[in-house]
Amino acid sequence: MVHAATFLKTIFLGATIAAAIAMPATADELQQAPIKVSTKWDEGISSYFVRVTSTSDEVDIISVIANRGNCEDITVNPGNVSLKSPLSPTTLKFGEAITRRFSCIAIELTVETNKGSWTYHPEAPAVTAR
């Protein structure tokens, strides 16, 4: 009987270790994004718009990066001056949004917030040939 008990303990320990390895390491990995991202291609002006909406009570948007930095952010401010510098951190309350304009269609978007970074792979819009 001693050998059977030792055998069962070994199996239980092995199963416990396997389960621990399969589970996420931290609670952060289980955290849902505090934002929602939507996109739109405007063929008339050859621009790709990215809208980031807060789904959290408060979140700071630090940056919005398209195609790992290979797609230029051509957002203009109300004075029609191009914002060539990176996005200044912007605090959004629940339901508030910001919109960024890019020079190309993004196949990857990374939004960095004060609550972590999230990467999205939006569906490519239908584009007609000219």
Band the pLDDT of 27: cuts 50, 70, 90: very low
Domain ranges, ordered by start, for the chain: 32-120
Position 64 scores a pLDDT of 94
% of the chain with per-residue pLDDT over 90:
52
- Cβ burial of 7 (10 Å; 0-12, 13-18, 19+) is exposed
Q: What is the pLDDT of residues 86-129, one digit of tens each?
A: 568 899 999 999 999 999 999 999 999 999 999 999 987 766 65
CATH number of 32-120: 2.60.40
Overall average pLDDT of the 64-92 stretch: 77
CA atoms within 13 A on the CB side of 130: 4
Cα–Cα distance for residue pair 62/15, rounded to 1 Å? 42
pTM above 0.75, yes or no: no
Overall average pLDDT of the 78-82 stretch: 53
